[in-house]
Amino acid sequence: MRGEYSAGMGNGGLRERKKARTRETILREAFRLFRERGYNATTIDQIAEAAEVSPATFFRYFPTKEDVVTLDRFPPLIEALHEQPPGPPVTVLRGAFRTAFGSMTAEEIAAGHAREVFAATVPELVAANLRKSPGLLRETSEILAGKAGCDAGDARLRDAMGAVFGVVTLIWLQWAHDPGMDGPAEIDRSLAHLESGLTP
pLDDT at 11: 54
Chain segment 89-105, per-residue pLDDT in tens:
999 999 999 999 999 88
Q: How far apart, in whole angstroms, are the C-alpha atoms of residue 163 and residue 194?
A: 8
* Residues of the chain under the 50 pLDDT cut: 1-9
**pTM exceeding the 0.85 threshold for the entire prediction:** no
Within the chain, residue ranges assigned H as helices are: 7-37, 44-51, 55-61, 65-70, 77-83, 89-102, 106-119, 123-148, 155-177, 183-195
CB 146 within 8 A of CB 85: no
pLDDT at 147: 95
pLDDT at 174: 93
